[in-house]
Amino acid sequence: MGRVTESQQVEAENEAAALGYLEEALRGLPDPRRGQGKRYPLRTVVVVALMAMVCGCDDAEAMDLWGEANEKWLSEFLDMPHGSPSQDVFLNVFGALEPKGFSDVFQSWAELMSLRLGHESRHIAVDGKTSRGSADRANGRPAIHTVSAWLCGAGLVLGQRQTGEKSNEIVAIPELLRTLDLRGATVTIDAMGCQTAIADTIVTGGGDYLLAVKDNQAGLHEEIRRTFAEADDVKPQGLDEEGIVTVDAYEETEKSHGRIETRRVRVTTNLRHVNSRSRWMKLGYVVEVRRERTQVSTRRTSVELAHYIGSGTPKAASQVANLIRGHWGIENELHWVLDVGLGEDQARHRARNVASNFTTLRHFTISVIKQDKSRKLGVKNSRKRASFDRTYLIRLVRGAPN
């Protein structure tokens, strides 16, 4: 047997470090299987599935093939007395695993990664996505709807909660928020999350909120519209200076996808017209966004108004504009990538808990790839690279700074 080189020793140490956090997190994950006939440790099945998913394997059959191709290497640090797990093993284990417990394992890793970023100026976007391929109409099961918390700018899914349908977001969002460290963070949510209980949860957790307001909060929506309508009027007779609605404004224009869009963001702390303000904990300001879009080819222009409420110390209009624009990162950098880069909507695993647990695997995959700040490839090609570059795979799974 040849002498182990220094580079081989470093690689072995990196492999051990890459699995260290999984060891700790998996320790508290209950094994749902009976002891009799159990051929693979839970750790082995989960670690192989995680690595295979990072390497581009989107279903149990592909994981089986990847594990078989890498069996010799995997057996150096995983207990595999019967070879690499088969497709049936993956389906049985992830079908039996309790989704919340498995999601909590992933969340503990995400919390570890987020600690590097501190508690200052964090922006957490919360939104839901339906995994269309998970619907099982034959057995009357609706598609899985997952509410995720996305750490904007960091490319990290901080946590998730799964529900039967979109309308259950109102229940799932506060449950998810209570599991997160919200200190020093601003949480943005679309109109579905504009609920007093959700606002209370955010503030109680040490964060601030910026919530979209639509007609599901009809009274509040009308009060905000009235506030900005008065700001546009000439000063009413007999109104003292304190009653005048003054605004801070910020405007930006960009051209993309064949259209020109101008966004004008206005913020005011004058809440005189917001009669329901006492219901919203620490309400500090209201926002109006005017979006004017012109199609370059047809010169047709459309105008849209959107409104928001925010808590805490009032922010400048430019800061609010950045938060609103940043919120859509959860659509572009998470939801879109899940569909295009990981084929979530085409996934057909539906039995028991497989679809739910594979959603957690996909979130892990996106998060570990996006922690590589030096990469020049998209998520899809980064997964391809990981499949043939073992050093890169280890670097991703280890979550080491680049």
pLDDT tens by residue, 302-330:
899 999 999 998 889 999 999 999 998 88
Reported confidence tier of residue 3, pLDDT bands at 50, 70, 90:
low
| 80 within a domain of the structure (yes/no) | yes
Q: What is the pTM of this model?
A: 0.83
| 151 within a domain of the structure (yes/no) | no
Residues in the chain, how many? 402
Q: What is the mean pLDDT of residues 348-367?
A: 82
| 129 within a domain of the structure (yes/no) | no
Based on the fold, state whether residues 229 and 302 are members of the same structural domain: yes
Please give the residue range of the domain that contains residue 298.
215-313
Residue-level pLDDT at 4:
56
| 198 within a domain of the structure (yes/no) | no
Residue-level pLDDT at 389:
92
- pLDDT score of 238 more than 70: no
The alpha-helical segments, DSSP class H, found in 70-131 are 71-74, 87-96, 99-114
Residue-level pLDDT at 1:
45
From 271, 295, 313, give the residue that closes a domain.
313
| 338 within a domain of the structure (yes/no) | no
pLDDT tens profile 291-304: 998 888 888 988 99
**C-alpha dihedral, 190 to 194 to 197 to 202, nearest 10°:** 50
From 313, 330, 356, give the residue that closes a domain.
313
Based on the fold, state whether residues 309 and 385 are members of the same structural domain: no
Q: What is the mean pLDDT of residues 46-55?
A: 92
The alpha-helical segments, DSSP class H, found in 305-353 are 317-327, 329, 336-340
| 362 within a domain of the structure (yes/no) | no
Q: What is the mean pLDDT of residues 81-86?
A: 90
Structural tokens at position 17:
């470090």
Look at 51 and 14; give whichever has higher pLDDT.
51
Q: What is the mean pLDDT of residues 6-14?
A: 57
Contact 150, 157 (CB under 8 A): yes
Contact 57, 364 (CB under 8 A): no
Look at 311 and 39; give whichever has higher pLDDT.
311
Contact 212, 191 (CB under 8 A): yes
Query: Could you tell me where the beta strands, DSSP code E, fall in 85-194?
Result: 122-131, 144-151, 156-163, 185-189
| 148 within a domain of the structure (yes/no) | no
Q: What is the mean pLDDT of residues 117-136?
A: 73
Q: Which residues of 273-306 are buried (b: 16+ CB within 10 A; e: fewer)?
A: bbeeeeebeebbbbbbbbeeeeeeeeeeeeeeeb
pLDDT tens profile 380-401: 899 999 999 988 898 888 765 4
- pLDDT score of 244 more than 90: no
Please tell me the total count of domains within the chain. Answer: 2
Look at 204 and 109; give whichever has higher pLDDT.
204
| 123 within a domain of the structure (yes/no) | no
